[in-house]
Each structure stands twice: as C-alpha cells, then as structure tokens.
Chain A
Amino acid sequence: MELFVQQVLAGLATGGIYACMALAVVMIYQAIDHLNFAQGEMAMFSTFIAWQLLQWGLPYWAAFILTIGISFVAGVLIERIVFKPIQNAPVLSHVVVFIALFAILNSLAGFIWDFTIKEFPTPFGSSPLLGSGLIGSHQAGMIAVTLVVLLFLYVFFRYTRVGLAMRAAAGNPESARLVGIRVGWMVALGWGMAAAIGAIAGMLIAPVVFLEPNMMLSILLYGFAGAVLGGLTSPGGAVIGGFSLGVLENLAGTYIPVVGSELKHPIALVVIVAVLVLKPGGLFGRVSVQRV
C-alpha cells in the first residue's frame, strides 16, 4: 500500500511535468488550430536563455519574468517571419516547417550551450514535503504554478475580448475577419502566448530532469498525449490528462510484471488510444460536428 501511494505521488509529480507541457500545447492549438512539433524545443531554448541570464547574475524571479517576456516576443517573431509567408501552404507543409524549426533550435542550443547536463535552480527549494519525501517541494510548487496558469488561461479564453477573439480567429477565420478581428495578429499573439507558457513549463521542468538540449524530446510527446487525452480544446482537460498519464504510467510500470517495466510507455499510449477510440474528442473536448 505504501508503494502504491508512493507511485501515485511520484506519478503526480511526473504528471505535473506533462500537464505543464500539455497546457502549452492547448494554447497553441487554440491559436493556430494544430499542433506545433517545435514547441518542446522552443521551451528548451527559453530555459537555456533563463539559465544564461542566471549565469550572468540576475536574481531568479527577474530572470524568470524576463525569459517569459523574451519568449513571448520570440514566439510572435517566429510567426511573423517564418509562418506568415507560407500561410496559404498546405497543412503538411506547415508540419514540415515545424520539424525544420525543431532541428534548428535543437542544433543551435547544442552549439551554444553544449550537451552536458546543467543544473537549473528551483525557487521552491528541494526539501521533502509531507514527511518522508513523498513529494518534493519543487514538485508541489510546479503543480501550483500549473494550476495558476490554468486559471489564467480559463479566464483569458472565457472572459476577455482578446481571448474570445483569438478563439474565433482560430475556429472560424473567415467569419472572424468579417466581424473585424485581425486574424493574422491573433495567430501571432497565440504564438507568443504559447511560447511564454512553454518557457514557464521549461523552467519548471528543468530542475527535475536537468537542462540539456534534448530534455524536451520525450516530454513533448507526453504533453501531446496529455492534451489529446483531455481534449485539445480544454485547458482543464489537458491538465487532468497530463496528471493521469503520469500516474497511469507509474502504476503500469510497477504492477504489471515484465511487460510493465519494459513497456511502460507503450502501455500508457495504448490506453490513450483506447480512450480515444471510445471517445474520439478526448475526455473533455468539444465534440466536433461535420457539416456537408
């Protein structure tokens, strides 16, 4: 029983990582209506920027805020410079440009900062919380920040003019344009916000997995999976999706002999696919209706 509790808590801690990333995934989905494969690398690059700022002697929170700002601007710039010129190209061409972006950021980070793992500080301390190390204070802090970002997104998309305009621009660009929304800038804004949330995710994840150019490689996959599991249109669903993924994976690894420990990733993914087959819109996503 103690093992069970420990695995669930460890799963929640890892799930927090996935949830963070899943939020960034949902954000970009709301803005551009598909997934960005370079998102993990963007988050990694932002985290390296934060690390560099810290190396130059900035206090943690100053570096944190500054990085979010830089990432926001960088996100907007990437949209304006890279994606605006090909906005009429087929979707698969966009996917290929995401892949290109992925390769560029990964290679550049390795070139500038090397591949040796780097320690990234946490503002929450690393002392065990709740007695004998069931969950670290950083993990708790990470989960808290995730929830704050979630709340922010919820309010933003529900109650602010910009948020609503952004949803309209992504969901139905033609009509949005007709009611006077500047669709192009909404997309750019969405990129900026996604990059900023990615930066937060990166800075929270790095203390756990260590900072290096390949740190987001697998986490992005789980971010996607979490977001899709929860429903791509629902930030809350994405967070729940991320957490359940972490717990599910740990329990499979612990309690299913041989298969569990060697194939814990595939098992988690199979479960997700199964959920999707039964509920194609994800657990909390809006059901899509197709009109002829």
Chain B
Amino acid sequence: MNRRFALKATAALVGLAALAATPALAQKKYDPGASDTEIKIGNIMPYSGPASAYALIAKTQAAYFKKVNEEGGINGRKVNFISYDDGYSPPKAVEQARKLVESDEVLLVFQPLGTPSNTAIQRYMNSKKVPQLFVATGATQFGDDPKKSPWTMGWQPNYQSEGRIYAKYILEKHPQGKVAVLFQNDDYGKDLMKGLKDGFGDKAKAMIVAEAPYEVSEPTVDSQIVKLKASGADVFVNVGTPKFAAQAIRKVHELGWQPVHIVNNVSSSVGSVLKPAGFEAAKGVLSTAYHKDPTDPAWKDDAGMKEWSAFMDKYFPEGDRTSSFTVYGYTVARTLEHVLKQAGDDLTRENVMRQAASLKDVTLPTLLPGVRMNTSATDFFPIEQMQMMRFTGERWELFGDVIAGEIGG
C-alpha cells in the first residue's frame, strides 16, 4: 500500500512537472497491455519473404527496448516488445494485428511496416481504437486525415513531401531541365511521383520527358536506364529501393550519361547503396536526409552517433552497421520511449495518442541538426523536414536550409 502510494505521488510529481499542460494525470489509468510493471507493445515486420531486409528495423528496436528495460524501464515499467512476421502479405498482417490486439492484448501496435500491410489493418485498428503508431512507411495516407483515422500516425517524412522538395529544387536550379524518372511500380514509387508532379504544378507535363516504372521482381533496371537516357533528359530522379537505385547509379555511369542525378531518401545510404554502386559512379549525386547516416564519415565524431554506436556495441553487436535501418529503428524507438514517458501513469490508448499528437519541437541526437518533430491534433506527420545533400565521392555534404514539406498541417 505504502509503495503504491509513493509511486503514485512520484508519478503525480513527474506528471505535474513534465506535463503541466495536461493536468489530471495523478490518477493511474490503464488500458489492456499496460500495468504497474509492464507495457506491452506490438509490432508487425516482414521477417520472411522478399522484403525481409526491413526486419533489421524491428531487431534494432527489440535491442533498444532491452536497453530501456535494463536501465529501469519507462517510468518504472518494463517494455514487452512483441513482434510478428507478416512476410509482407496483407492478409497475414491482418491476422497478426488481430493476434496482437485480441490475443496478446498489447497497448498499441508500433511501426508496422509497409504500405499494403498498414492499409490492410488501418480500418481494424481504428475500429478497435488501438493506436497504429509511427507506421514504418512514408505513404501519405497514414496521417493526412486524423479525423478519419485518429488512431493511425506516421513518423518519417511522407513520400509526397519528398517529391515536392525535389520539384522545388529542380524548378529553382534547372528551370529549363528535362526530367526523367525511374520509379518502383508500387504505392511508394507512385506516391513520390505524385509529389514530384504536384510540385511541378502545371509545368509537370512539359518538364517530365520520360517515366519508366520497374517491378521489384525484375533482375535489373538496365533497360529502363537505356530508355530514359535516350529521351534526352538532363535531370534524372531515381525513385528506387536500394538494390535498384544502386544498379541505376552504376548503369548511368557506365552509359556515360551525366544528368543532374537525384536519388530518393530511401536509397541514400552510403554503405548499402553508394558503395556497392561505386563511389566513382555516385559522385555528385543529390538526395535528401532527415537522420544521420551511419556510414557517412561526416558523423564520425558526432556525439549522437557515438551514443548510437555504443548502443549497437552493447545490445545489438550482430546488427549490420552499414545499413541505415539500424539508425532508423533506433530513432523511432526513442520517439516511442519519449511518448510513453510523457504519458506517465495514464497509460490508456487515448492518452498515448494524445501524447503522440502533442510533440513540440522534439529533437533526437540521431536526427539531422535542425530537424524537429512536431505534431498536433490536426498534424499526424511527426517529421516533415529534410535537407538536400550532395555526395562528394565519399561522404554526403548537406547544403541549403532544412526544408519543410507542404503536405498536412
């Protein structure tokens, strides 16, 4: 009884100190999945199948929550991170989401990955009123309508904003440019393409001289690059996932084509894209970023990345450090930790969403300097800022200002 009271009192103090804006938190309130000792968090990831490269994200997050638990948990509660495999198949994602909500009774589902899987579970999560928090996709539909889907929130900059940033850059620096686009023929590629076209506005038809889609099932994109080069374009926007983006960079170089080459953020990793493609070929390529790249020597002495590195050493030594997924997973997990800390002892699903929707200028050490997370009741896109950068041949060099996207709040 005493201990409980003491806890309550401490919680009240913490609550008052940290959350003066949201009063009445002294009372402990729990929804399924939360208790005095534990917070259950669900997750859905493709551990098997063609998209299994992404599973590294959840593995990093599991390691991060292990660290949190070893250091005392979140407000004294241990995190129980339950992650299931959906093999990137929407029907399986529905099954796993239901398992998490109905069988494991988690407080929330965190970072389910992939647009198809998230679309598949979105209606279910919202009807069950269980947070589908910080989805691991930049598709614009997860966060652009908080009224309709108040339980679904994005995290990373959405693809349309990114497309608009490129359009803005091209209009500014190469207003007479002829643009060729390579894109993955799925929701992600098309979303980014839409942003690009919206960014060009009524000039889109005149500016974009060639588009070439590719399927993930294709062995190479060589044929598409040959075709795009033949269109006479002098600006090339490369909307591919790492393997295809790297193939494209190499092929462009092999063909002796020298366009202004923009690679989308998904494939901006030095270690897993530019190095395999060849530094020589990748020199001069442009991209955008919002978090730091683990393989970029520019961050070698950065305090935030050192912290990340120490975490990797201790809790995830077998993790692949050349992959930016480890930094991504680490950063999102820290965001969740922040939200749950803010939620204090009111661990209801409603309060978790309320806290997630009231981030004010939150920064994390692995985000780029100047990138801040902001959300509100009408803005469900935590990160909307990115910065352009240029590859010098061995590292990225940021230039220009941190640019905010224009979609949503």
Judged by CB atoms under 8 Å, the answer to whether A and B touch is: yes
Fill in one digit per residue for A3-28: 1 if any B CB lies within 8 Å of its CB, else 0.
Answer: 10011001101100100000000000
Name the CB-closest residue of A to B225: A10
In the bound complex, residues from chain B placing their C-beta under 8 Å from that of A136 are: 254
- Scoring B residues 108 to 143 as 1 if CB is less than 8 Å from chain A, else 0, what string do you get? 000000000000000000000000000000000000
Write out the residue numbers on chain B whose beta carbons fall within 8 Å of the beta carbon of A110.
Answer: 52
Of the four ranges (under 10, 10 to 19, 20 to 34, 35 or more), the interface on chain A belongs to: 35 or more
Is B68 interfacial (CB 8 A cutoff)? no
CA distance in complex: A17, B220 (Å): 10
Beta-carbon contact of A254 and B223 below 8 Å: yes
Q: Judge whether B185 is part of the interface by a CB distance below 8 angstroms.
A: yes
Q: A116-B271, A262-B185 are in contact. Are A14 and B217 (CB under 8 A)?
A: no
Residues of B within 8 A of A6 (CB): 226, 230
Inside 8 A of A11's CB, which chain B residues have their CB? 223
B171-229 contacts to A (CB < 8 Å): 185, 211-213, 215, 217-220, 222-224, 226-227
Residue of B215, B223, B256, B276 with most chain A CB atoms under a 10 A cut-off? B223
Number of interface residues of B (CB under 8 A): 36
Residue A185 at the B interface, CB < 8 A? no
Kindly list chain A residues whose C-beta atoms are within 8 Å of the C-beta of B227: 3, 7, 253-254
Smallest beta-carbon distance A232→chain B, Å: 21
List A contacts of B242 (CB < 8 A).
116-117
- Is the pair B223, A213 in contact by a Cβ cutoff of 8 Å? no
Q: Which of A113-146 contact B (CB under 8 A)?
A: 114-119, 126, 128, 132-133, 136
Interface string of A229-265 (1 = CB under 8 A from B): 0000000000000000000011001100000011011
Q: How many angstroms from the CA of A17 to the CA of B223 in the assembled complex?
A: 14
Residue of A whose beta carbon sits closest to that of B224: A253
User: Judging by beta carbons under 8 Å apart, are B226 and A114 in contact?
Assistant: no
Compute how far the CA of A261 lies from the CA of B323 in the bound complex, rounded to whole angstroms: 31
Measured CB to CB, the closest approach of chain B to A272, in angstroms, equals 16
* Residues of chain A lying within 8 A (CB to CB) of residue B80: none
Q: Mark interface residues in B264-302 (1 if CB within 8 Å of A CB, else 0).
A: 000000011101100000000000000000000000000
B226 touches A261 (CB 8 A): no
- The CA-CA distance from A14 to B185 in the complex, in Å, is 20
**In the assembled complex, which residues on chain A have CB atoms less than 8 Å from the CB atom of B211?**
261
Tell yes or no: B246 within 8 A of A by CB.
yes
Interface presence of B322 (CB below 8 A): yes
Do B254 and A7 have beta carbons less than 8 Å apart?
no
Tell me which residues across on chain B come within 8 A of A265, comparing CB atoms.
Answer: 215, 217-218
Q: Binary interface profile of A, 162-179, with partner B (CB < 8 Å = 1, else 0)?
A: 000000000000000000
B243 lies within 8 A of chain A by Cβ: yes
Q: Contacts A117-B246, A208-B220, A217-B217: A3 and B230 contacting too (C-beta < 8 A)?
A: yes
Contact partners of B161 in chain A: CB under 8 A: none
Alpha-carbon separation in the docked complex, A247 to B9 (Å)? 74
The residue of chain B having its C-beta at the shortest distance from the C-beta of A113 within the complex is: B320
Q: Smallest Cβ distance from B48 to chain A, in angstroms?
A: 7
Using a CB-CB cutoff of 8 Å, which residues 255-292 of chain A contact chain B? 261-262, 264-265
Closest Cβ–Cβ distance, residue B360 to chain A (whole Å): 36
Answer yes or no: A210 CB below 8 A from chain B CBs. Answer: yes
Chain A residues within an 8 Å CB radius of B275 = 119
State A265–B48 Cα separation when bound (angstroms).
24
Q: How far is the CB of B395 from chain A (nearest CB, A)?
A: 18
Q: Which residue of A lies closest to B54 (CB)?
A: A115
Cross-interface CB contact of B219 among A103, A114, A133, A219, cutoff 8 Å: A219
Within 8 A of B (CB), among A191-246: 205, 208-210, 212-214, 217-219, 221-222
Q: Does B303 contact A (CB under 8 A)?
A: no
Q: Contacts A119-B275, A119-B276, A210-B243 known; A7 to B218 CB distance under 8 Å?
A: no
Contact surface of A with B, Cβ cutoff 8 Å: 2-3, 6-7, 10-11, 13-14, 17, 103, 107, 110, 114-119, 126, 128, 132-133, 136, 205, 208-210, 212-214, 217-219, 221-222, 249-250, 253-254, 261-262, 264-265
- Could you list 5 A-B pairs, sorted by A, with CB under 8 Å? A117-B242, A117-B273, A253-B223, A261-B224, A264-B223
Q: Which residues of B contact A (CB under 8 A)?
A: 48, 50, 52-53, 55-56, 185, 211-213, 215, 217-220, 222-224, 226-227, 230, 242-243, 246-247, 254-256, 271-273, 275-276, 320, 322-323
